[in-house]
Amino acid sequence: MSDVRHVLVLPDRDAAEEVVQALAERFGVVEEPQLVRDALAGEDDAEDAQWLVVLRDEEERLDPGELDRFAGKWEGWREEP
């Protein structure tokens, strides 16, 4: 099995949590994705943070373009590796 991971970048925690819930419904993701706060260097203010949703795709069944469009519904995007 490969160690493929997708990283979706979201503008805030609420959007990231909504994406985590919607991933199961839309893509059938069973393993809960990891939610990570990514603050800009030197910034502690929550408004300057982005949220990352990291999901494993060992079977490589998730389409990167589809994930990017999906994240776009929350003003986010899929980070290219």
Q: What is the per-residue pLDDT for 6?
A: 96
Residue with tokens 């899929």: 78
The CB-side HSE value for 45 (13 A sphere, CA atoms) comes to 2
Cβ neighbors of 35 (< 8 A, separation 6 or more) are 13, 16, 17, 20, 51, 52, 53, 54
79, burial (CB in 10 Å: exposed 0-12, middle 13-18, buried 19+): middle
Tens digit of pLDDT at every position of the chain (81 positions): 467 899 999 999 999 999 999 998 999 998 889 999 987 655 555 556 799 999 999 889 999 999 999 999 999 999 987
- Looking at residue 64, its pLDDT comes to 95
